[in-house]
Amino acid sequence: MTSTILIDASSAPESGPPRSVRQTPAPGSGHTFGGVFRSERIKFTSLRSIRLTLLITVVCGLAMSTLIAALWSGEMNAGGMGDMFGPGDAGLQGYLLFAATMSAPFLALVFGVLGVFAISSEYSSGMILSTLTAVPKRGPVYLAKAVLLAVVSGLTAAALVLGGLGIAVLFYPPSAAALGAGVVISGALGTIAYLVLISLFAFGIAALLRSTAGGVAVVAGVTFVLPIVFQVLSITNWDWVGAAMSYLPTPLGSTLASGLTEVAAGPSYWGALIAMLVWAAVTVVPAAILFQRRDAR
């Protein structure tokens, strides 16, 4: 009996050189900062809480400027400008800055809430996991969030200040002659810088705590509660209380809103700006380090 053995040549191992395997890039390795920034912008502007916060900020700020301008323009038309702002050009400059920047200390908390929402919303919704999966390099993500927040808060603050100046001129047209004064320009820019740095300070707090409620509570405590505490401590007549109080964010914002003028006590205009930069850096820098090192959850 004859047996036939069939050999399938296709099952034999190949003796030739191994074929090269195409390497697949790791997820997120091809992302540019511009792409990450655009992604963060889409997420940021799609949040209803962000849109409502911006709307409330603009409406409340311009409403306060309108109320102030309507009140003090009536006084100025009646000849009472010298009692409040001083005579001549100084009075016009004081009127413009008062109408355009008076709302800044009250809106600082709203800008703080904006900074908190900029990052804490992703932790509360769990979206941060998807974000870091798509872009494993966390540095660009954090930087894009911070830059986007600075741009949005800066544009919002500029709209408030410029709108306030326009409203002030509308109610008292002679004040238009003082719009180009160095005090007015520096006061307007100082107010914008103050509100942007407050939002970045809150952004760092929220990144450290990863909690919306906790971030808002800390920002409210720093902007409103701490000045009250120091005012109570001032009855002790301790020298350090007054010095420390002048470096809180709220007094620093008032100094920046006053423009380049002589300050009787406390930090100067540039000193106040540096102090606000320190307040923002104290939270933003440690938060950036922890954002890259600890687990996303």
257 pLDDT more than 70: yes
Rounded CA separation 185/96 (Å): 10
| H or E segment to which residue 247 belongs | none
The SS3 of residue 35 is: helix
Q: Look up residue 174 and give its DSSP letter.
A: G
pTM of the model: 0.83
pLDDT in tens, 153-192: 999 999 999 999 999 999 888 888 888 888 999 999 999 9
pLDDT in tens, 82-124: 456 666 778 788 889 988 998 888 889 889 988 998 888 777 7
- The pLDDT, as a whole number, for residue 29 is 46
Question: Above pLDDT 90, what percent of the chain?
Answer: 31
Rounded CA separation 258/98 (Å): 9
What is the Cα Rg of the chain in Å? 28
Average model confidence (pLDDT) for the chain? 81
- In the chain the first and final C-alpha atoms are separated, in Å, by 74
Rounded CA separation 180/289 (Å): 42
| Token pair 């939270």 in the structure block, residue | 283
pLDDT in tens, 39-81: 888 888 777 878 888 888 888 889 999 998 888 877 666 655 5
- The pLDDT, as a whole number, for residue 5 is 45
274 pLDDT more than 90: yes
- The pLDDT, as a whole number, for residue 85 is 65
- The pLDDT, as a whole number, for residue 202 is 95
